[in-house]
Amino acid sequence: MFVAVLIASPSGLPLEKSAAEALRNAWGGGDITWRAPDRAAEFPLDVIPDTHWSVWAELQHLGVDLCVVPQANRRKRLLIADMDSTMIDQECIDELADVARVGDRVREITSRAMNGELDFEAALEARVSLLEGLDAGVIDTVLRDRITEARGGRTLLATMKAHGAWTLLVSGGFTAFSAVVAQWIGFDAHQANVLEVAERRLTGKVTAPILGREAKVEALERATAAQGIGTEDVVAVGDGANDLGMLGRAGMGIALHAKPAVAEACGLRINHGDLTALLYLQGYSADAFVRSDAAAV
């Protein structure tokens, strides 16, 4: 058994009742359950229809995401999430590069690396080298003035944690950012690369080993072992090519506003919804969300 979940953008056009009913009827689904008025609805299915992706493409034009998930074991016990362009709206290294006046060069490399066109480790080393000599105090300035949390992140974590889940932020970026972001949003733990600093300036190097795609998979496996659960109990979310390993390993791997090559490789894609879409996919209704504006202690 499966569940077809329809999710509209929280700031866009509503999800029309007629659209949900038309799809349910076309696919021979069961009764519709509305998880949020005008925003999220679902219905059970016996099998995934052959028209799944053609209908998905049609709904994209209406600002609606369509995901089909197994009905069993929907609520996950561990969340593992990418940071840049997933839990926050920016790529931290691009923001540092702007301050260092090498923004255009670094953004181009970042875009290609996240789309899987470049080796992640080599691309990271190339970008960091362009930051050599930058005052390390700029990190605090960037965090204060340029970094914003992605919509729905705190609600996602607060709700899952209220139901016993453990949460881990994993980033191919830097601990100087992940430590702060993890505290802001409420993650239990974080993992990222370490920028080398000498005499209060960036050296242009990253402390070895560089944490890339495989490191995220290893982090997922360590976390499941520590929590005494299986990978089927994990929901993972990310947007870049270095996230594909953990997205494929998790029981529910979600490409969120992802790069084209990443989205194409994932069966669950959220292009219009925010991070609360991960709650709808797990079967939570909006009236059960835990709203939290408090940072983690």
Show the tokens assigned to 66. Answer: 């369509």
Active-site residue identified among 31, 65, 82, 94: 82
CA distance 221 to 224: 5
Show the tokens assigned to 202. Answer: 């960036």
CA distance 71 to 283: 9
- Nearest alpha-carbon partner for 291 in 270, 272, 274, 276: 276
Are 106 and 84 in contact by the 8 Å Cβ rule? The answer is no
Burial (CB count <10 Å: 0-12, 13-18, 19+), residue 75: middle
Question: How far is it between the farthest Cα atoms of the chain?
Answer: 66
Show the tokens assigned to 58. Answer: 């049609």
Active-site residue identified among 31, 46, 84, 293: 84
Active site residue 188: no
80 contact partners, CB below 8 Å, separation of at least 6 = 167, 168, 170, 216, 219, 220, 223, 234, 235, 236, 237, 246, 250
- Nearest alpha-carbon partner for 250 in 158, 168, 137, 130: 168
**Single-letter amino acid code for the residue at 153:** G
Active site residue 84: yes
Active-site annotation, residues:
82, 84
